[in-house]
A = this chain, B = another copy of it.
Amino acid sequence: RADGARLWATIHETAAFGGTPNGGINRLTLSAEDGQVRDWFRDACEAAGLAVSVDALGTQYALRRGRDMSRPPVAFGSHLDTQPTGGKFDGVLGVLAGLEVMRTLNDAGIETEAPLMVVNWTNEEGSRFAPAMMASAAYAGDFTADEILAKRDAAGVTVAEALDAIGYRGDVAVGGQTIGAFVELHIEQGPILEAEAKTIGVVEGGQGIAWFDGAITGFESHAGTTPMPRRRDALLALSEFALAAERIALDHAPSAVATVGEAAILAPSRNVVPGRVAFTLDIRDPRSATLDAMEAALHAAAAEIGARRNLTVELARIWRKEPVPFDARVVAAVEAAAENLGHPRRRIVSGAGHDACNLAARVPTAMIFVPCKDGVSHNESESATQGDCAAGADVLLQTVLRLANA
C-alpha cells in the first residue's frame, strides 16, 4: 500500500510552484515555474535512489533498477505542467503517485523483476504550445523531434528556446528510452465516477480529438458611421461560428463536444467594427466517423457565414488524434488490481487526451482514473480527496507490480 498522507503532502508541496491566490496552479509548460517543479522532481527522484535522465524534448525519466535489467522498464507517470487556470491534480497526481510507488517499494525493500520508471512528459496540456501531449506524440513517432522543437508559443518563442531557457533540453534521443508497458493514473476530469460513487475508473481508451486554427478577415470601420448592413464585422462572424460549433456538437449528443477556447480581435477598439479575429477550435468524439461529420459541418458553417457576411472564415486543422483503444492485458491488470483492493470501479473512456493515448501506439498501455469534485478540471477549483488519490496510488502500485513481475 502506498502512503496516502505522504502523497497528499507532496501534491500540496509542489502546488506552490506556480500556485495562484485561488488555490490553483498556473504552470505553463517550460515556464520558470515548470523548471522549478522539474528540479524538485529530479531531486526527489534522486533522493529515492532513482537514475534520472532527460530527453531532447525535456521529458524526465527516473529509473528504479529491477532484478532483470534486460527487460524494458514498466513505466508510469503523467505531467507536471498545467493550464493557465489549472488545478492541483491534473497530471500532478500521476507523476507524484509514481514517485510514491517508488518510495513505498523502497520502504518495504521490494525488488521487481523488470525495472520501473516514473516519467514526467513535457507539454501535456497544449496550452502554451499546440498540440497537447506533444512529447509523448514524438515518443510514439507522430512527430519528429525537430518538428516539435520548432513549434512556437503565442509570443513567438520556440520549444527549443523554452527548453534551453530552463535547462531542460536533455541528451536522450526522443523515443530512445525503451518502455515495456505504460500505466497512467489521472483524475477523471469528468463527472461519471463521482455520480456513480466509483473510486476507480478502468480506462479502456481515449476519444478522438481535432484542433483547428481559425482566422476571420472582415474590414475595420467606424462604429458610429458604418450602417449595419454595410459592416463586415469579424466578431459577429466569430459569434455565429462559435454558436454553430455548439449546435454541431449537440447534433451528435451526448458524446460530442466542441469548444472555441481562444478568440482575439486584432487591434481592438471600442469604436471600431472588428475587422480581424483569430480563434481556436477543439472538437472531440469517441468515434472517428463523428469527427469527420463534425469537420464537414464546421467547414460548411464557416463558408456559409463568410458568404453571407461578405468576409472570409478560414479554418485550418492543425492536429487530429484518432480514438485510441488501450491494451487488453494492461487494462485487465488495472481491473484485477482494483478488484483485489476492493475498490468500487467501472470501465470508462477518457474524454481528455493523455500521454497514455500516444504511448498506446507503441507500448502496451492503460490508465487508472479517480473521481474529481463535480467533474471539474482545467479550473483553479479542481479538487479530489486524499482517500481517492491514495486509492489510485494503491491501484497503480499493484498494477505495476503485476506487470513488472509477470
Contacts and interface: CB of A to CB of B under 8 A. Distances in A.
A188 interface: yes
A25 to B, nearest CB: 12
A249 interface: yes
A308 interface: no
Given A224-B351, A378-B220, A379-B219, A263 B259 contact: no
Contact of A265 (B222, B263, B273): B263
A135 B32 CA distance: 44
A105 interface: no
A259 B222 CA distance: 9
Contacts of A209: 224
Interface residues of A, number: 71
A380 B365 CA distance: 55
Nearest to A273: B259
Interface in A149-204: 188-191
B261 A269 contact: yes
Given A222-B377, A284-B224, A83 B269 contact: yes
Given A224-B351, A233-B259, A236-B242, 16 more contacts: A83-B271, A85-B275, A207-B224, A221-B379, A222-B376, A223-B261, A226-B375, A228-B249, A233-B246, A238-B239, A259-B272, A261-B269, A261-B271, A262-B269, A262-B270, A272-B378
Interface in A352-388: 352-353, 375-380
A21 interface: no
Interface in A211-236: 211, 219-228, 230, 233, 235-236
A84 to B, nearest CB: 4
Contacts of A243: 236, 239-240, 243
A10 interface: no
Contacts of A249: 228
A17 B260 CA distance: 38
Interface of A: 26, 83-85, 125-127, 130, 132, 188-191, 207, 209, 211, 219-228, 230, 233, 235-236, 238-240, 242-243, 246, 249-250, 253-254, 256-265, 267-275, 280, 282, 284, 351-353, 375-380
Nearest to A352: B224
Contacts of A240: 239, 243
A271 B378 contact: yes
A224 B267 contact: no
Contact of A257 (B191, B226, B269): B226
Contacts of A219: 376, 379
